[in-house]
Amino acid sequence: MAAIELVDLKREFRQAKRFDGPFGAVRTLLTGEYTTRTALDDISFAIEPGESVAYLGPNGAGKSTTIKILTGILVPTSGSVRVLGNEPHTHRQENARQIGVVFGQRSQLWWDLPLIDSFDLHQRIYKIAPARFRANLAFCEEVLRMEQFLHTPVRQLSLGQRMRGELAMALLHEPDVLFLDEPTIGLDVLAKDRIREFLKLVNRERGTTIMLTTHDLRDIEELCERIIVVNLGKLVYDGRIAALRERLGSERTIVIEFSDDPGTVEIPHATLVEDRGVRKTFTFNRAEVPALDLVAALPRNLAIADISFEEPSIEEVIRRLYRSMETDGPDKEEIDTWTRGQVVTQ
Amino acid sequence: MNVYVAMIGKSYRKHLVYRSEVWVRIAIGVVWVAIQVAVWTALIGEDEVDGISLSDMITYSIVNTVMALAMMDRSLAELDQRIRSGDIAVDLIKPFHYPLTLVVDGMGRSLFSALFSVLPTLAIAILFFGFQAPASPVNVLGFVVAFVLALSISFALACLVGMLGFYFLATFHFQWALGALRTLFAGTMVPLWFYPDGLRTLANLLPFQHLAFGPAATWMGELTRAEIGRNLGLGALWAAALLGICWWMWARIVRRLVVQGG
């Protein structure tokens, strides 16, 4: 059984139609006309137990709507949704006991009380056996290094400390599925690293299924092998990051440093993108020409100090994907063809 | 249930954090009693008005001030904010009943108030201004029941205003209106027995008198047993009705949030 399963999930929102002009507000009030906006349009995917999946999309793509439906606080317009076999919105409380949720922008801790008090209350709410609770707390305390601030009131914690607290709380009742909505938002590099390490450990050691939304693509690189991308309510990509990189990121960069400025240098199959005299940057398509052939094709008479290749970062890959969704650029058609294939075949 | 009992404790401790508030609240309570005593001394002096003496009015003022201190249910101000900011989603995800957590939060606050502002204020006020003992044990019992009803009605009213935040952009004007209605019809400052007949009839038709005048008059033995009984019955009806409306409105809001997506 899949941990999370969506089949043709659709969610529409009705919004009062707004009119312009000085009496627009009055017209809005009187006409009672509505426009329907589709936030999620026939989304289908399944996540197996123990998987760690990044759920991506530009702002307003429908990520939060999906998380809300999965946590049972929003009812889908049509389609079916299952989390660990339950339909979340009809079994909200049962679902709640089996999942952990962290909203990066919303705190679930008791603001005025020490962190430990929130955990204590959590134990009672989720009816966690004392021995299990102690073991889980000890685990979180150690890995997230919370001992220095466990007894500090939440309002005095730094954002990074608070996020660690939120994460620990979401895991104390040993949920099988963990939903993370932008868990690293606003954190410094060290705090982000710590949280990623922790999530990796939880996913690996406990087999907790993780689904996270993020705008920080380093999160994905470190945590998730699979990504699901939505845009304007539609599923645009579901698959491994490596595959996406292969398709979108076949373009490589080669940087050559010469001992003396050689003037103009031409390399077959490569395009010059930056020329700083002794340091020249070219791009080439890996599918068209193997990197070794490219190096072999370099003019022999030039003294070369250093050669380096640069892989496209995941940022670059995702940026290209988003951009291609927005504009009908040259990539558009190519991406359309293969994403369509990808979605249909999976 | 265990959860909710624990929450009372947490809420109590939460308020304990702001210890400086204690002194301010005691000071406000004592000053408030002092002002009322000064006003009634000027108005009544050594005489009696309609059979009410200065000593009666001092007792009335103290009882009402003490009740007001125990009631200030501000935990509901958060409700309005949580609904509007969408933070309510976090509360809905948890496996507990959110409205009940508001009730127990209020109880923790009241417990805190009882120990740290009601009792000290009461002691100081009695010491400085004198206080009439209750007329009989029946009056004490009646007062306790009336006070519980007052807490319920005040909670329900604040809850309703808080939930209006879901439908309106701001609720401060509703809060003002509620405050004004309370001041006028609860008889917090001027007991209803001084009201002209028309206004008093109107006050009797509204729930507000159960917040202040009812319990205080019961304590002082100004009501006959039959009147106490009728008052408590009416108060219970109001409390049940208002809490029922709260429940219904909450269910509606949750359904709207969940089905329509706010």
Domain range annotation of chain B: 2-256
**Shared-domain flag, residues A99 and A231:** yes
**Shared-domain flag, residues A57 and A84:** yes
**Shared-domain flag, residues A189 and A302:** no
Q: Which DSSP category does A204 fall into?
A: I
Q: Best residue in B14, B85, B93 to probe A by mutation, most A CBs within 10 Å?
A: B93
Q: CA–CA separation, B49 vs B186, rounded Å?
A: 20
The answer to whether residue A31 sits within a structural domain is no
Q: Which residues contact B92 (CB under 8 A, 6 or more apart)?
A: A73, A92, B98, B254, B257, B258
**Mean predicted confidence (pLDDT) in A148-176:** 93
User: What is the model's pLDDT at position B230?
Assistant: 94
Chain B nearest CA to A68, separation (Å):
8
Closest chain A residue by Cα to residue B259: A75
Weakest mean pLDDT among A83-87, A290-294, B188-192: A290-294
Number of separate helices (H) and strands (E) present in chain A: 12, 13
A83: domain range?
4-11+43-244
pLDDT digits (tens, 9 = 90+) for A264-306: 888 888 888 888 888 888 888 877 888 888 888 887 778 888 8
**A308 pLDDT tier (thresholds 50, 70, 90):** confident
Q: Which DSSP category does B258 fall into?
A: I
Per-residue pLDDT at A6 exceeds 90: yes
**Shared-domain flag, residues A115 and A195:** yes
**B68 pLDDT tier (thresholds 50, 70, 90):** confident
Q: CA–CA separation, B53 vs B31, rounded Å?
A: 21
pTM for this predicted structure: 0.80
Cβ within 8 Å, pair A113-B93: no
The answer to whether residue A290 sits within a structural domain is yes
**Shared-domain flag, residues A130 and A91:** yes
Q: Which residues of A touch B86 (CB under 8 A)?
A: 106
ipTM of the complex: 0.80
Q: Which residues of A touch B21 (CB under 8 A)?
A: none
Query: Looking at the complex, does the CB of residue A106 fall below 8 Å from at least one CB of chain B?
Result: yes
**Shared-domain flag, residues A236 and A290:** no
Number of domains in chain A: 2
**A344 pLDDT tier (thresholds 50, 70, 90):** very low
The answer to whether residue A327 sits within a structural domain is no
The answer to whether residue A127 sits within a structural domain is yes
Cβ within 8 Å, pair A96-B87: no
Output the average pLDDT for chain A: 85
Per-residue pLDDT at A340 exceeds 60: no
Query: Looking at the complex, does the CB of residue A103 fall below 8 Å from at least one CB of chain B?
Result: yes
Residue B80: CA count within 13 A, CB half-sphere: 21
The answer to whether residue A320 sits within a structural domain is no
pLDDT digits (tens, 9 = 90+) for B200-235: 999 999 999 999 999 999 999 888 889 999 999 999
Per DSSP, the three-state class of A116 is helix
Q: Which residues of A touch B6 (CB under 8 A)?
A: 120-121, 124
User: What is the model's pLDDT at position B261?
Assistant: 66
**Shared-domain flag, residues A270 and A232:** no
Q: CA–CA separation, A47 vs A66, rounded Å?
A: 14
**B124 pLDDT tier (thresholds 50, 70, 90):** very high
Three-state SS sequence of A232-281? CCEEEEEEEHHHHHHHHCCEEEEEEEECCCCCCCCCCCEEEEEEECCEEE
The answer to whether residue A20 sits within a structural domain is no
Q: What is the token pair recorded at A331?
A: 């990539």
Per-residue pLDDT at A327 exceeds 70: no
- Domain stop point among A203, A221, A244: A244
Weakest mean pLDDT among A15-29, A175-189, A223-237, A292-306: A15-29
Q: CA–CA separation, B257 vs B262, rounded Å?
A: 4
What backbone phi and psi angles, to 5 degrees, belong to B51?
80, 10
User: What is the model's pLDDT at position A249?
Assistant: 65
The answer to whether residue A233 sits within a structural domain is yes
**Shared-domain flag, residues A147 and A73:** yes
Q: Which residues of A touch B90 (CB under 8 A)?
A: 101, 103, 106-108
Per DSSP, the three-state class of A307 is strand
Q: Which residues of A touch B3 (CB under 8 A)?
A: 121, 124-125
- Domain stop point among A195, A222, A244: A244
Per-residue pLDDT at B176 exceeds 80: yes
Which single residue is written with the structure tokens 């939120």? Answer: A166
Chain A nearest CA to B87, separation (Å):
7
Query: Looking at the complex, does the CB of residue A113 fall below 8 Å from at least one CB of chain B?
Result: yes
